[in-house]
Amino acid sequence: MSAFLPSPGPRYRALLQLLRTAEALWNASRVFFARWDLSPSQFNILNLLCGRPGGCTQSELSRSLIMHRSNVTGLVDRLEADGLVKRTDDPADRRAVRAEVTALGRKRHAAGAPVVNAVLQDVAKKLSAIDSQVLKRALDAVQ
């Protein structure tokens, strides 16, 4: 029996590169958001809540962020402790609680959003329009 496995091929190498890229982006975003004393996930929650005047239930946040509800609970707990988010009872469902962004949360989000958008634009311009379309189709196929 050979000690070497056959080469996994270009599809496997492409998926590994996708995972490496995702990890690199995540690690860079953790450092990036630290200047506002936020994690990337906390910023994502503020970003979602700033766009929804009535706030969201934690289930809605969980679905939007593709994250388990227990993780959302911890993130909202920390945001609430920092005064960036408040919880309110959901008038439509007595069992549900809504998370809403506070004035301080809006201010923190407003400080970061333009910088985030500029960085995303800078990263995106490294891909041509055609490369972006090809990448999106490939990622859609993988998903």
Spell out the domain ranges in the chain. 10-142
pLDDT, residue 90, reads 82
d(CA 60, CA 88): 14
pLDDT, residue 143, reads 84
List per-residue pLDDT tens for the chain, 143 residues long: 556 766 788 888 888 999 999 999 888 889 989 988 999 999 999 999 999 988 999 899 999 998 888 899 999 999 999 999 999 988 888 888 899 999 999 999 999 999 998 988 888 888 999 999 999 999 899 88
pLDDT, residue 109, reads 94
Sign of CA pseudo-dihedral 67, 76, 85, 32: negative
pLDDT, residue 110, reads 94
pLDDT, residue 89, reads 87
Q: In the 3-class helix/strand/coil scheme, how is 59-114 assigned residue by residue?
A: HHHHHHHCCCHHHHHHHHHHHHHCCCEEEEECCCCCCCEEEEECHHHHHHHHHHHH
User: Could you tell me the CA-to-CA distances from 130 to 5, 104, 121 in Å, in that order?
Assistant: 36, 40, 16
Other beta carbons less than 10 A from residue 55's beta carbon: 19
**Angle of CA points 55, 68, 62, to nearest 5°:** 20
The CATH number given to 10-142 is: 1.10.10.10
pLDDT, residue 100, reads 96
pLDDT, residue 3, reads 67
